[in-house]
Structure formats: C-alpha cells, structure tokens
Amino acid sequence: MSHTVLEPEVNEGGTGTGRWMVIIYNNETNSFDEVIEILMRATGCDADEAAIETWEAHHYGKAPVHFASRPECDQVAGIIASVGVKTEVAREWDE
C-alpha cells in the first residue's frame, strides 16, 4: 500500500506574504483613544482589537498590531507613525 507524503511549502526568501509584522511601542505622548483610532485606520481592525493592542503596548512596552507582506507592513507602520507612535517592521519569526 502506498502513502502520499506531503512536503511543506517553503518560501525561499524575498518578502513573502504573512512573514512580516508591525510592532508599536508605548509612549507617554499619545492618548489611548488616539492610538486606538490610528490602529483602526491603519490596519482596518475593529475598536475592540485596537483597544487590546493599545493596552498590550501600554502594559508590556510593545505590541504586534499587523501581519502581512513587507510592503503592506511598511505602509501600515508609516500611517501609525504619522501620529508619533514609534513603530517597527520585523519578520514574524526568525528563520
């Protein structure tokens, strides 16, 4: 009896999709409401998700807020940074 072996799909570099994330950092300048609003505008998330991410950044110092391709994450990070929130675009995981 034969068995089919499925190999995992391997992405050989490049920017790839879903391999990048936007991280926001806490600051003492922006209000909770301001951060929630910019997260909703930049990422398209709802108010509940934006509030959770804002709380996480406030309490832990940083929070991942968006996962997508590198170009999309760069765009989202730019929108968030426009109100003074420090952002970082990083790989979703180390290889």
Beta-strand ranges (E) seen in 4-46 are 20-25
Residue 12, domain member (yes or no): no
Residue 80, domain member (yes or no): yes
User: pLDDT, tens digit, for every residue of 27-75?
Assistant: 999 999 999 999 999 999 999 999 999 999 999 999 999 999 999 999 9
Residue 64, domain member (yes or no): yes
Residue 26, domain member (yes or no): yes
Instruction: Identify the domain containing residue 37 by its residue range.
Output: 20-91
Distance CA 82, CA 4 (A): 51
- CATH number of the structural domain spanning residue 86: 3.30.1390.10
Residue 43, domain member (yes or no): yes
Question: What per-residue confidence (pLDDT) applies to 93?
Answer: 85
Q: How many domains are contained in the chain?
A: 1
Question: What per-residue confidence (pLDDT) applies to 7?
Answer: 43
Residue 71, domain member (yes or no): yes
